[in-house]
Chains A and B, each alone.
Chain A
Amino acid sequence: MKILVGIKRVIDFSVRVQVKKDGSGVNTDGVKLSINPFDEIALEEALRIREKGMQAEVVAVSIGPAEVQQQLRTALAMGVDRAVLVETGEVLQPLMVARIFHELTKRENADLVILGKQAIDDDCNQTGQMLAALWDRPQATFASKVELKDKTLTVTREVDAGLETISVDLPAVVTTDLRLNTPRFVKMPDIMKARSKPLQTLKLDDLGVAKAPELEITNYAPPPQRVGGKKVADVPALISALKERGVL
């Protein structure tokens, strides 16, 4: 069985992102970049499936500039068998990313693709669903529990109403939610060991994937600022303040 895991390099979740004054984007100078947290969960889940004794090869895939090799090295250190970088300097949108993954599922003959439910930079929440559509295979999104038996996945999904369970046939796409697992920490010796693991680079242009339509982003603006900060001394003052604002 072959499992592909997608990882995207994003601005770290702890950074308070600032919009550039000219509206052309957000500040990335000197800003910490990490693996999208949902993708770390995807990596962890793939490794756990393998560690449960399933014969599986786990391949981490990232699409981006040469620098994302660093994040792929982290994935290798976590325990994936090999890594593939699809190199491009362009910022791609979900439909294009899904097309690239679709091409890779064919090349790799994948049985399972695990992606994060959303990337915390564009917050789109689309790629897994789009890949499943193009591949004509099931999608199990927002997963908080995954059980694999024979060629069937039983997946618990976090939905607005509570927890939904679906059963899907492999090959399939799973997207991860936060409570699926807690990713392991990478240990120093693993980083050393990972240096000898294979990391293959493919040029996006060589993949033969047709360019997908895109949204044109014409402006970035900071959100309207809330002016908070007012404090009251005690409960009676809290009640008065609520009345003043007309909420009580």
Chain B
Amino acid sequence: MNKILVVAEHDGKTLNASTARAVNCALAIGGEIDVAVFAVNASAVSTAAGKLKGVKRVLKVERAENAHQLAAVLAPQIAKLAKDYTHVLAPSTTFGKDLLPRAAALLGVQQVSDVMNVIDATTFERPMYAGNAIVTVKAPAAPCILATVRTASWQECGTGGTAEIVSVTTDAAVPAHTRFVGLKAEKSDRPDLQSAPRVVSGGRGVGSKENFAVIYKLADKLHAAVGASRAAVDAGFVSNDLQVGQTGKIIAPELYVAVGISGAIQHLTGIKDARTIVAINKDPDAPIFQVADIGLVGDLFQILPELEKELDEL
């Protein structure tokens, strides 16, 4: 039988929703599922992880060095724990992308990145070439399989589980050559870009940081998260955590509104799984219109205020 270990992503206090998506992928593989929480004090996060449906046990791996989730510190511990598992999964977020390959190399395993679909316990589908090809890969079963889970391809698993919570220790030696200095997190009361059902994104066409106010206003009307193209981030209109695309966040909202975004391949990769794509762009030939379910050609500075007004009247 498969024994699957899912590495929890968290900030020390709350469990990140990407964990529940990775658990859903584990359910698709099938077998016994454990979740590992690496922290100084893992209690709160473990309680949350224990409620995820399908999880058998939560492993609390507590030690002082685990305070900042550094890959160099966690990877040797994961490599030790992996001995008891057929699969180790982590979400394909910056956390999981940084961490899991390091553990894979310690185990001599070629990792599978960005699993979007499970064919069987050793065969998976994953995207390549900015999502322009979907490949089927078969991973050697021994010593075990390490994979990151493309979160946009998986819903969060349900809750209501009653996993057993156990403390484990590993004798892994962890290095001191890597030190956490600080995190500059962009504080926002808006919905989280990676899990929001609605997203409004602005591109270079928005023109400036000040002009981005029109994007925020529309997002507020729609209770949507705010995203951006790379060009908008590079130009300093918004911070890097809002970038959507091949090298930013891959998202799958119910509604994606692209405003002043041309629709480069690298951007489209990030939104392919959105249920409805709306494009607002003054260039009728912009490539974004080829994928948009609803396109509106025109000047965003005229359209957005009008749209807000109409939404108010609903």
Q: Which residues of A contact B (CB under 8 A)?
A: 11, 13, 16-19, 26, 93-96, 98, 117-118, 120-127, 129-134, 136-139, 141-142, 144, 154, 157-169, 172, 177-179, 212-223, 226, 228-232, 234-239, 241-242, 245, 247-248
Which B residues, 254 to 309, have Cβ-Cβ distances below 8 Å to chain A? 254-255, 265-266, 272, 275-278, 284, 289-297, 303, 306-307
Given contacts A26-B133, A212-B110, A223-B272, 11 further A-B contacts (CB under 8 A): A123-B128, A133-B101, A139-B178, A159-B241, A160-B194, A160-B249, A163-B184, A226-B291, A230-B295, A231-B296, A245-B294
Return the 7 tightest CB-CB contacts between A and B, nearest first. A130-B105, A133-B105, A129-B101, A126-B101, A165-B181, A17-B129, A17-B132
Return 25 A-B CB contacts under 8 Å, by A number. A26-B129, A95-B104, A95-B108, A95-B110, A123-B113, A129-B101, A130-B102, A133-B102, A133-B104, A141-B97, A159-B95, A164-B180, A165-B181, A166-B180, A167-B181, A179-B240, A215-B138, A231-B297, A232-B295, A238-B294, A241-B294, A242-B255, A242-B276, A245-B293, A247-B276
Would you give the shortest CB distance from A64 to chain B, in whole angstroms?
17
Given the known interface contacts A98-B105, A123-B129, A166-B181, the answer about A217 and B234 at a Cβ–Cβ threshold of 8 Å is no
CB neighbours of A118 from chain B (8 A): 247
Which B residues, 102 to 141, have Cβ-Cβ distances below 8 Å to chain A? 102-106, 108-114, 123, 127-140
A213 touches B277 (CB 8 A): no
B246 touches A120 (CB 8 A): yes
CB neighbours of B139 from chain A (8 A): 215
Given the known interface contacts A95-B104, A215-B137, the answer about A248 and B296 at a Cβ–Cβ threshold of 8 Å is no
Q: Residue B159 at the A interface, CB < 8 A? A: no
CB neighbours of B291 from chain A (8 A): 226, 228
A220 touches B133 (CB 8 A): yes
A19 to B129, CA, bound (A): 10
A162 touches B101 (CB 8 A): no
Most buried by A among B97, B103, B129, B247: B129
A-side interface mostly = mixed
Most buried by A among B181, B249, B275: B181
Would you give the shortest CB distance from B87 to chain A, in whole angstroms?
14
Given the known interface contacts A94-B111, A120-B129, the answer about A129 and B181 at a Cβ–Cβ threshold of 8 Å is no
Q: Out of B110, B134, B277, B289, which one reaches A214, CB within 8 Å?
A: B110
Would you give the shortest CB distance from A5 to chain B, in whole angstroms?
19
CB neighbours of B276 from chain A (8 A): 242, 245, 247
B272 touches A125 (CB 8 A): no
A217 touches B289 (CB 8 A): no
Would you give the shortest CB distance from A212 to chain B, in whole angstroms?
6
Q: Residue B179 at the A interface, CB < 8 A? A: yes
A235 touches B295 (CB 8 A): no
A36 to B94, CA, bound (A): 20
CB neighbours of B75 from chain A (8 A): 133
A238 touches B296 (CB 8 A): yes
Given the known interface contacts A130-B102, A222-B134, the answer about A161 and B129 at a Cβ–Cβ threshold of 8 Å is no
A223 to B127, CA, bound (A): 8
B108 touches A162 (CB 8 A): no
CB neighbours of A245 from chain B (8 A): 276, 293-294
A124 touches B113 (CB 8 A): yes
Would you give the shortest CB distance from A210 to chain B, in whole angstroms?
9
Q: Out of B103, B241, B293, which one reaches A228, CB within 8 Å?
A: B293
A11 to B132, CA, bound (A): 12
Binary A-proximity of B12-38 (CB < 8 A = 1, otherwise 0): 000000000000000000000000000
Would you give the shortest CB distance from A36 to chain B, in whole angstroms?
12
CB neighbours of B131 from chain A (8 A): 223
Q: Residue B165 at the A interface, CB < 8 A? A: no
B181 touches A228 (CB 8 A): no
Would you give the shortest CB distance from B108 to chain A, in whole angstroms?
7
Given the known interface contacts A19-B132, A126-B104, A178-B230, the answer about A216 and B240 at a Cβ–Cβ threshold of 8 Å is no
A129 to B96, CA, bound (A): 11
